[in-house]
Amino acid sequence: MSLSLDATQLDRYSRHIIMDEVGPPGQKRLLDASVLVVGAGGLGSPVIQYLAAAGVGHLGIVDDDVVERSNLQRQVVHRDDDVGTPKVESAAAFVHGLNPDVTVETYETRLEKENVGVLADYDVVVDASDNFPTRYLVNDFCRINEIPVAHGAIYKFEGQVTTLTPDGPCYRCLFPEAPEPGTVPDCATTGVLGVLPGTVGCIQATEAVKLVLDEGDPLVGRLLFYDAMDMTFETVPYRRNPDCPVCGDDPIDSVADVEYTDACAVSLD
């Protein structure tokens, strides 16, 4: 790996380069890295923004939605002029304007079993999705293919973040099955504090950068809770479940037979 950075890059990333934990080698790792962000909404926006600013050289963005005016209260990579535009296009334009070092691959689609294989092309996946079927699909595929995941979720004034690596517990160890459909309302029904996904998404981006740099202590086996109203953070440990169908003692080797509907359960029959 060449450590050569041009004059513009030395200037742009100077605050990274002077840090012992990053330096020129770490910045080159970021420039050579590929990270896929699943979702370009509330959580995905700050993730995309800060990964691009940090110089992650190849960003993938998956989203099948278009920008609506109600998104603009929290989805900070989109602008009023982007209303009606696919979110992946708006997000890519934002990245191009922020950092020309970053190439962007867009996937204007919903992540499904049929196209989930695209995740295998990336070093790290950030789960910024807003639904349980996608979360379980990302967890299962990435665990089988040994891809680390920075997971986040938000609800009204609260957020949670955890990091899933090949040698730690997975999302199913934490939540064996999804809640019953309709029991967890979305932000269109309950609302969400506009600045909340900024905090949670920044933590996810931090975890992704740490994974690329192989520095620090990621949130592996730890679920970080954030309460914006009380301004408190709490970390709850969790362990690998030996009976987990995805990372336990007798794991599945493919997502092909898993139905990502309702409880997103894995049949062991």
Q: How far is CA 105 from CA 8, 63, 92, 108, in A?
A: 23, 12, 8, 10
Number of domains in the chain: 1
Asked if residue 261 is part of any domain, the answer here is: no
Tell the residue number behind the tokens 């992540």, with chain if given: 111
Whole-number pLDDT of residue 268: 58
Burial environment of residue 84 by CB neighbours within 10 A (0 to 12, 13 to 18, 19 or more): exposed
* CA 70 centroid distance within chain: 22
Say which of 142, 187, 247, 264 is annotated catalytic: 187
pLDDT, tens only, 222-254: 999 999 999 999 999 999 999 999 999 999 999
On whether residue 247 sits in a domain, the answer given is no
pLDDT at 1 over 60: no
The range of the structural domain enclosing residue 213 comes to 33-237
CATH of residue 106's domain is: 3.40.50.720
Average pLDDT, integer, range 125-152: 97
Is residue 170 among the annotated active site residues? no
Handedness of CA 11, 16, 22, 26 (dihedral sign): negative
DSSP string spanning 195-249? THHHHHHHHHHHHHHHHHHT-S---BTEEEEEETTTTEEEEEE----TT-TTTSS
Task: Supply the pLDDT for residue 269.
Answer: 56
**What integer is the mean pLDDT of 120-127?**
98
Q: Is the pLDDT of residue 130 over 50?
A: yes
What is the reported pLDDT for 184? 75
4 is a domain residue:
no
State the average pLDDT for the chain.
Answer: 95
Distance CA 37, CA 50 (A): 12
In a domain, 96, yes or no: yes
Question: What's the CA gap between 103 and 100, in Å, rounded?
Answer: 8
- Residue 100 pLDDT > 60, yes or no? yes
**pLDDT tops 60 at residue 217:** yes
* DSSP helix/strand/coil, 38: strand
pLDDT digit string, tens, across residues 47-67? 999 999 999 999 999 999 999
Average pLDDT on 122-139 reads: 97
**Distance from C-alpha of 143 to C-alpha of 110, rounded to nearest angstrom:** 20
Global pTM value: 0.95
H-helix segments, the chain: 7-12, 14-17, 23-32, 44-54, 87-98, 132-144, 171-174, 187-190, 196-213
Indicate whether 10 belongs to any domain.
no
Question: Is residue 141 included in any domain, yes or no?
Answer: yes
Q: Which residues of 167-193 are buried (b: 16+ CB within 10 A; e: fewer)?
A: ebbbbbbbbeebeeeeeeeebeeeebb
Please tell me the predicted confidence (pLDDT) of residue 62. Answer: 98
Is 78 domain-assigned? yes
pLDDT in tens, 13-39: 999 999 999 999 999 999 999 999 999
In a domain, 257, yes or no: no
Q: What percent of the chain has pLDDT over 90?
A: 90
Q: Is the pLDDT of residue 267 over 70?
A: no
Residue 224, pLDDT score = 98
CA distance 94 to 82: 11
